[in-house]
Amino acid sequence: VDVGPTREVLSRHPDADSVIDARGKVVMPGFVDPHTHLIFAGSREGEVPLKVEGTPYGEIARRGGGILSTVEATRRASEDELFALARERLDRMLAQGTTTAEVKSGYGLRTADELKILRVAARLSREHAVEIVPTFLGAHALPKEYEGRAEDYVEYVLHEMLPALGPRLARFCDVFVERGFFTVDQARRVLSRAKEMGLGVKVHADELSQGGGAELAAEVGAVSADHLIHVSDGGLRAMASRGVVGVLLPGTPFTSPGLPFPDGRRIVEAGVPLALGTDLNPNAWLESMQLVLAMASYRLRLFPAEAIAAATINAAAALGLGDRLGSLEVGKQADLLLVEAENHLHLPYRLGTNLVQTVVKKGVVVWRALHT
Ligand code: FE
């Protein structure tokens, strides 16, 4: 409704029936987390000591860990179980200032289970204060039953999963483009079909190696390309020219031995709009956008103000919602945080402490710290 210095705002609205005193605090937009794999069953804490020993991902997977172990657990879980697990995570995310979250499928890898995950996302969207943006990620990994038959699995995604989606279960379609996962050509076919169905598209690009994911994102008009640890200069140029948002996810290299952090400064200097997300998943169980801000400032070479913009307005743009979310402006949705700090620099500075004191979603207080 209005933004400005306290005295001016109150003089224009003398009849406000609810006053929240934010003196001495930072007031800012709620965090938009533009990349999560929120809905999964099981957990992989057993991989932490293996990572300490430097065990490569392939070896962890051979010993029964990795994505496919999560797929197994998620296939076994009922819709109600998945809902309960995801809701707890979402509660903690809200308490740490996330007011909107993108949520991907991708731990089902067969039609019934991918649909089950997306129905859980729809139910969360109805029942939880955090706004949910659902993404179909059927091409996340090859399920065991398709081992060595990537082409057949892509056909299955194209001709069975995508048609079964229906019009409202997903707003975006994403593909994991990486050696050992899906090729640029396979991703192009999936994303093109998704676009024909009216979905927006996203790409997991250049995470473990340089694989043409960023170039593909620009070619197909993706709203974002995510990870970008190994992105090429040409890929960045293509993204900049098409306005593709680059989403950096420092939680993954933080938890993956040998994987370097992406260079945020290089991406900003290439003219690519930059966003930040958690990539919350059972390999990198990160729910806090505040911790992402710290990693971004200390390891991605982003100034705190840039990182905050990347975690709010640019993250909203990475979901195609920049006109409605992500900044405090007249006419936009009132999703805002009161932060227990005298300036924004405390957000990356105070490691691992939740500084959020109050969360407002759509103009309503939805969470308050206990001591308030
Ligand atoms: Fe991801």
CA of 137 to the centre of ligand 1 (A): 9
The pLDDT of 260-268, averaged and rounded, is 97
The Cα 67–Cα 140 span in angstroms is 9
Q: Is 109 left (phi over 0), alpha (psi -120 to 50) or beta?
A: left
Taking each continuous run of H as one helix and of E as one strand, the counts in the chain are 17, 12
pLDDT at 58 over 90: no
Q: Which residues surround ligand 1, an ion (CB under 5 A)?
A: 279
pLDDT at 371 over 80: no
Report the share of the chain in percent with pLDDT over 90.
Answer: 90
pLDDT at 226 over 70: yes
Count of beta carbons in the 10 Å neighbourhood of residue 234: 12
CA of 179 to the centre of ligand 1 (A): 15
pLDDT bracket for residue 336 (50, 70, 90): very high
CA of 226 to the centre of ligand 1 (A): 8
CA of 20 to the centre of ligand 1 (A): 37
CA of 277 to the centre of ligand 1 (A): 9
CA of 346 to the centre of ligand 1 (A): 28
Q: Tell me the pLDDT tens digit for each residue of 133-192.
A: 999 999 999 999 999 999 999 999 999 999 999 778 999 999 999 998 999 999 999 999
3-state helix, strand, coil in the chain (%, to 5): 40, 15, 45
Return the residue matching tokens 């089950």: 116
pLDDT bracket for residue 364 (50, 70, 90): very high
CA of 106 to the centre of ligand 1 (A): 9
